[in-house]
């Protein structure tokens, strides 16, 4: 059975490509999903890639991951800085959790410096643009292999 990884994307990431390209780059979320599908296949991982603009839906997906996923990669977008509910849901997930951001949030506005997700993440990848998604999958493959 291949290991399954959920890769969850938060609000406004559906607009990648046109959204502040000087910060987030020109690739669309569809481009990133295709790249992730290829990278996951190279690692023999089954990938479930999703995006939502709704906090509650993301919480429900994290709860679903408890039964359906071995590892969780999440770019919670703006909810990173606001969501106790996402932190609480992640606390209940037993596998590795990678927090992922396209931008280096520490180089940006002060309100982006605090993350509710980092204290419950195995590790954080930020500042590498879309490439960070591939790095996160590489790291997840290693973590899941080590856990065997």
Least separation, in Å, of the C-beta of 35 and ligand DQA? 15
Return residues touching ligand DQA (CB under 6 A): 12, 75, 77-78, 80, 101-103, 105, 112
Distances (CA, A) of 74 to 113, 133, 148: 17, 10, 22
CB of 89 to ligand DQA, least distance (A): 17
Q: For residues 86 and 76, is the Cβ–Cβ distance under 8 A?
A: yes
Q: Is 81 marked active-site?
A: no
Task: Please give the distance of CA 100 from its chain centroid, rounded to a whole number.
Answer: 5
Task: Select 71 or 76, whichever has its Cβ closest to ligand DQA.
Answer: 76
Nearer to ligand DQA, 95 or 132 (CB): 132
> Minimum distance between the CB of residue 77 and ligand DQA, rounded to whole angstroms?
3
CA atoms within 13 A of residue 26's CA, in its CB half-sphere: 0
């Amino acid at each position: 059975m291949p290991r399954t990884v959920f890769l969850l994307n938060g609000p406004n990431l559906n607009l990648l490509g046109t959204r502040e390209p000087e910060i987030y780059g020109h690739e669309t979320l569809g481009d990133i999903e295709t790249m992730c599908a290829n990278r996951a296949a190279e690692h023999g991982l089954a990938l479930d890639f999703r995006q939502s603009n709704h906090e509650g839906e993301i919480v429900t997906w994290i709860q679903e991951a408890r039964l359906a996923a071995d590892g969780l990669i999440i770019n919670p977008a703006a909810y990173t800085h606001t969501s106790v509910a996402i932190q609480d849901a992640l606390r209940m997930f037993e596998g590795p959790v990678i927090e992922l951001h396209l931008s280096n949030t520490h180089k940006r506005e002060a309100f982006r410096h605090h993350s509710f997700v980092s204290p419950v993440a195995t590790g954080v990848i930020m500042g590498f643009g879309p490439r960070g998604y591939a790095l996160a999958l590489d790291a997840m493959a290693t973590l899941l292999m080590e856990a065997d």
